[in-house]
């Protein structure tokens, strides 16, 4: 389903988090994705006279769920009805509806619907919400990078990233952190001869000098510049071999090698 009448706005939180506010041109209702900080969300809603209808959670880490309780308390004071969605296999106390692969989330107040993807890796139960022009992918895929493996395996994460890579190339990527510039420094170490990567790094440098967001990215761009989506490329395989002094058996092993490299970069 195309949610063409929706607007997605970044609410900045903590040092580098993005909480995504999904709104409609037809009314004042919104949904929030991964509201780790209730206070910045409440301030945003008060400033813009908005009504909270839904909360979408990708995984259980505190910088993604920490604001839920306070937001529900605030909504109760306002007599708002809020539905909280999140992953079925993670322990998140306030969920009303638990989700797994192929489930659908309908938010009638916003006239929108999302499909759910299972994306284990960063955490075991991590999920994403997507329609045919955008994906809210939490801490799985970043621009130029990917999330750390706190709970899942390298094989799981590589499979999850491959799922995202197979979405339509014009899909907008709404990840949860402004990590792009640091990610690109690593990507350039892995693939120093990638002209697309150099060009993007220059664009990002200018954006960040002006404190502009680099998110959303899109799938087409990430396929050109993100080493974690390019593990099938000869240049990435050579870099993984050089770093690890080993020959990787498959693309998943290539991913594991460069993820370890990034952890120590």
219-243: pLDDT as tens digits = 999 999 999 999 999 999 999 999 9
In the prediction, which pLDDT does 5 show?
78
Tell me what pLDDT residue 4 has.
53
Residue 1's pLDDT is 39
Which residues of the chain have a pLDDT value below 50?
1-2
Overall number of domains in the chain: 1
Does any domain span residue 1? Answer: no
The count of residues in the chain is 265
Residue 248 forms part of a structural domain: yes
In this structure, is residue 201 part of a structural domain?
yes
Structural domain of residue 192, as residue ranges?
A: 6-263
In this structure, is residue 50 part of a structural domain? yes
At 3 the pLDDT is 52
Q: Is residue 80 part of a domain?
A: yes
Locate 151 and state its tokens. Answer: 């709970």
In a domain, 163, yes or no: yes
CATH number of the structural domain spanning residue 154? 3.60.15.10
C-alpha 117/C-alpha 70 separation (Å) is 27
Dig out the tokens for 160 from the structure. Answer: 């999850």
Give me the pLDDT at residue 2, please.
Answer: 45
For the question of whether the overall pTM of this predicted structure is more than 0.95, the answer is yes
In the annotated binding site for Zn(2+), the residues are 59, 61, 63-64, 122, 139, 177
* Domain contains 235: yes
Q: Which residues fall in the annotated binding site?
A: 59, 61, 63-64, 122, 139, 177
In a domain, 155, yes or no: yes
Distances (CA, A) of 34 to 10, 61, 133, 224, 228: 11, 9, 19, 28, 23
């Amino acid at each position: 389903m195309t949610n063409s009448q929706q607007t997605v706005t970044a609410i900045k939180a903590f040092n580098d988090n993005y909480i995504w506010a999904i709104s409609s041109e037809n009314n004042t209702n919104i949904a929030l994705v991964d509201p780790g900080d209730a206070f910045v969300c409440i301030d945003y809603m008060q400033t813009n006279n908005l009504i909270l209808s839904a909360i979408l959670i990708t995984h259980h880490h505190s910088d993604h769920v920490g604001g839920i309780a306070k937001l529900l308390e605030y909504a109760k004071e306002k007599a708002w009805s809020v539905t909280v969605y999140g992953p079925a296999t993670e322990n998140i106390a306030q969920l009303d509806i638990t989700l797994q692969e192929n489930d659908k989330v309908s938010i009638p107040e916003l006239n929108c619907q999302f499909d759910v993807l299972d994306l284990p890796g960063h955490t075991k139960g991590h999920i994403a919400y997507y329609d045919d022009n955008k994906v809210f992918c939490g801490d799985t895929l970043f621009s130029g990078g990917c999330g750390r493996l706190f709970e899942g395996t390298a094989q799981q994460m590589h499979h999850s990233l491959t799922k995202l890579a197979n979405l339509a190339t014009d899909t907008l990527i709404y990840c949860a952190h402004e990590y792009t510039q640091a990610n690109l420094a690593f990507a350039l170490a892995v693939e120093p001869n990638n002209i697309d990567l150099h060009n993007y790094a220059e664009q990002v440098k200018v954006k960040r000098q002006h404190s502009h967001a680099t998110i959303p990215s899109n799938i087409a761009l990430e396929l050109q510049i993100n080493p974690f989506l390019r593990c099938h490329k000869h240049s990435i395989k050579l870099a993984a071999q050089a770093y690890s002094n080993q020959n990787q058996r498959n693309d998943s092993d290539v991913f594991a090698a460069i993820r370890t490299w990034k952890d120590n970069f």
